[in-house]
């Protein structure tokens, strides 16, 4: 593991900040006064510092709603905002299937966040890539050109330099990158079909995406084929489905399959139920194909199902 304590120390000031309020200052709530004294920090962040004991008034611990008065001395230990360390290298476990001077093929495990964001500022695949491949610090987003949801397992490609990243992004835009997934869904799915439905934020639940009156909707196309059907130990019908993406919208397969009445097993955000021991949405990025930057040849990679996915499939009684 990298010495994260040393990394953090480089962001911290050597001494706390001290402010003595003017003798003609008006009595005011501490958090409001701090917001005026430290305008580079949000009020909610300052309130967090107060609550965690990183702010003292006259050398005493205080609360957010406490009033400060003329002549009071406020001592503040500035804390590292979580996003400041978002792009720090960390020793994160993930599997590399193949690599070249232009790209890296990662087999992402379920449970690993791809890119830092709100609530997940460290311990992501991006942090792990920067640790294992330090040269990626010079590439935008550490070379990541497409993402997988936290609880989706499987393949994604990472560019090792700017030109390769541009090459891959253009293929994604042209819809020439082939991304094939396996999903276990509720119900019995007809043989095959294509879902063409715009996806955007759900106006009622911000963490969800939706095809029903979506906010800032974008075109999305998913091709699906039913592979086999069966029932779980709970006597619930399920179907193993192959999905091929033309576009790559957030939660695309999860939203599209739920929109036609076949939510993914254990995808509780979109109406799925936890069956046959499944504890996360059963979605796996099985195959990836694209044109190689250096040779121009079409190359492809495949990934076996994760162990937990296989265990669920073994618990199902298959009918075909």
Residues annotated as catalytic (active site), given as ranges: 149
The number of beta carbons lying within 10 Å of the beta carbon of residue 75 is 16
Identify the three-state secondary structure at position 313: helix
Cα torsion 174, 180, 185, 191: sign = positive
d(CA 240, CA 139): 37
99: closest CA among 319, 269, 294, 316?
A: 294
Identify the three-state secondary structure at position 104: strand
H/E element, 64: none
194: closest CA among 242, 238, 146?
A: 242
d(CA 280, CA 228): 20
Identify the three-state secondary structure at position 40: coil
**Beta-bridge partners for 75:** 18, 56
Structure tokens of 141? 């987003």
Q: How far apart are the first and last CA of the chain?
A: 48
Phi and psi torsions of 275, nearest 5°: -125, 155
d(CA 158, CA 294): 15
Distances (CA, A) of 189 to 214, 229, 233: 25, 8, 19
């Amino acid at each position: 593991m990298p010495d994260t304590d040393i990394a953090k120390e480089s962001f911290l000031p050597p001494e706390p900040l001290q402010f003595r309020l003017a003798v003609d200052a008006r009595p005011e709530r501490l958090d409001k006064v701090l917001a005026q004294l430290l305008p580079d920090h949000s009020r909610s962040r300052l309130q967090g510092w107060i609550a965690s004991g990183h702010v003292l008034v006259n050398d005493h611990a205080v609360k957010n709603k406490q009033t400060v008065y003329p002549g009071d001395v406020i001592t503040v230990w500035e804390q590292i905002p979580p996003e400041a360390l978002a792009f720090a290298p960390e020793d994160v476990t993930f599997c590399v299937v193949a690599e070249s001077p232009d790209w890296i093929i990662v087999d992402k495990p379920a449970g690993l966040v791809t890119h830092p964001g709100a609530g997940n500022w460290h311990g992501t695949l991006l942090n792990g890539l920067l640790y294992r491949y330090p040269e990626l610090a010079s590439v935008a987003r550490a070379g990541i050109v497409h993402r997988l949801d936290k609880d989706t397992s499987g393949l994604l490609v990472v560019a090792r330099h700017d030109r390769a990243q541009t090459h891959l992004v253009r293929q994604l835009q042209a819809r020439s990158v082939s991304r094939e997934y396996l999903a276990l869904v509720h119900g019995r799915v007809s043989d095959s079909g294509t879902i063409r439905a715009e996806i955007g934020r759900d106006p009622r639940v911000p963490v969800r995406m939706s095809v029903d009156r979506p906010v800032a909707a974008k075109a999305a196309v998913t091709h699906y084929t039913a592979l086999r059907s069966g029932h779980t130990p709970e006597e619930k019908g399920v179907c193993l489905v192959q999905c091929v993406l033309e576009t790559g919208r957030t939660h695309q397969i999860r939203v599209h399959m739920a929109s036609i009445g076949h939510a993914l097993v254990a995808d509780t955000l979109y109406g799925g139920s936890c069956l046959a021991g499944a504890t996360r949405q059963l979605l796996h990025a099985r195959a990836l194909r694209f044109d190689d930057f250096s040779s121009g040849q079409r190359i492809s990679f495949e990934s076996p199902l994760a162990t937990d996915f296989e265990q669920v499939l073994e618990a199902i009684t298959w009918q075909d």
